[in-house]
């Protein structure tokens, strides 16, 4: 069993997302530790990028704040080295293919493995082009995590059959961001996924309230929340870790 699959072994998983370096890397580290303390199962760390095409305005702005503050990929790697002194749950990177290409795919992915990153999510990487990175990921034991969207349709079974770590189910069309209601009928998508893989699946995009998290956790093995957490960072800045810890507890309690 991969480390990522173990995050789903003891019940529904909560996967919070945070943009590294917003407002600074010290705050990021404090937020991660608060989220772990309050029941997060797996942490999704965003490496900031200047053109995050899958993101709504909230996370776009977080990327810009992090980059303006001097956050680099190497500094994010050092952040993970620090976190791994005491954070034992799985951690994955979410970033864009150009970040990996620019750093050098072999160097990037081998460093991920060396510092304790368990998986990699590249939302702009089409499934059909994943062989650009998959052999390197396999060589270093880093799961390349696939995404399934409402538009995936007849590709869902194919993507599910080759899934690693966990499957990221995109709840809604469009970019990330909180939504008042998730209207996509995800049950048929989850059904096809279950028929083709035993890799766990988690639903993201648009979830922000404990009620939404509870509803989505009834369908899937876990929930992913990003924009709601970034909004707390935007509001509270360096004082945000306490509030993010409290928010994490409301979600983990809701899906327990």
Rounded to 10 degrees, the C-alpha dihedral 94/96/102/108 comes to: 30
pLDDT, one tens digit per residue, over 178-224 is 444 555 689 999 999 999 999 999 999 889 999 999 999 999 999 99
The alpha carbon of 238 is separated from its chain's Cα centroid by a whole number of angstroms, namely: 22
Structural domain of 18? 3-255
The alpha carbon of 186 is separated from its chain's Cα centroid by a whole number of angstroms, namely: 19
Sign of the four-CA dihedral 244, 246, 249, 250? negative
- The pLDDT, as a whole number, for residue 115 is 98
- The pLDDT, as a whole number, for residue 12 is 97
| pTM for the structure as a whole | 0.93
Q: Cβ distance 168 to 184 under 8 Å? A: no
Q: Cβ distance 47 to 93 under 8 Å? A: yes
Cα 243 from Cα 235, distance rounded (Å): 10
Cα 184 from Cα 150, distance rounded (Å): 8
Question: What is the chain's length?
Answer: 256
Cα 179 from Cα 156, distance rounded (Å): 24
Number of H helices and E strands in the chain, helices first, is 12, 9
Q: How many domains does the chain have?
A: 1
pLDDT, one tens digit per residue, over 40-96 is 999 999 999 887 666 778 898 999 999 999 999 999 999 999 999 999 999 999 999
Q: What is the CATH number of the domain that holds 65?
A: 3.20.20.70
Mean pLDDT, all residues of the chain: 92
Environment class of 198 (CB within 10 Å of its CB; exposed 0-12, middle 13-18, buried 19+):
exposed
């Amino acid at each position: 069993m991969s480390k990522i699959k173990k995050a789903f072994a003891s019940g529904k998983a909560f996967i919070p997302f945070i943009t590294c370096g917003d407002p600074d890397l010290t705050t990021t580290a404090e937020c991660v530790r608060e989220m772990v303390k309050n029941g997060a199962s797996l942490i999704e760390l965003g490496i900031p990028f200047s053109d995050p095409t899958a993101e709504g305005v909230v996370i776009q702005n977080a990327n810009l704040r992090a980059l303006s503050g001097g956050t680099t990929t190497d500094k994010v790697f050092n952040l993970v080295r620090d976190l791994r002194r005491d954070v034992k749950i799985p951690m994955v990177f979410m970033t864009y293919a150009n970040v990996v290409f620019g750093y050098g795919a072999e160097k990037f992915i081998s460093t991920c493995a060396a510092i304790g990153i368990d998986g990699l999510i590249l939302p702009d990487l089409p499934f059909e082009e994943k062989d650009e990175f998959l052999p390197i990921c396999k060589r270093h034991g880093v799961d390349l995590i696939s995404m399934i969207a409402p538009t995936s349709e007849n590709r869902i079974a194919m993507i599910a059959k080759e899934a690693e770590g966990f499957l990221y189910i995109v709840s809604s069309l469009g970019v990330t961001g909180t939504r008042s209601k998730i209207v996509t009928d995800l049950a048929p998508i989850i059904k096809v996924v279950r028929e083709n893989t035993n890799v766990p699946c988690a639903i993201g995009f648009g979830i922000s309230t404990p009620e939404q998290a509870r509803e989505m956790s009834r369908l899937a093995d876990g929930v992913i929340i990003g924009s709601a957490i970034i909004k707390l960072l935007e509001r509270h800045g360096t004082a945000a870790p306490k509030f993010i810890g409290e928010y994490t507890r409301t979600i983990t309690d809701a899906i327990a």
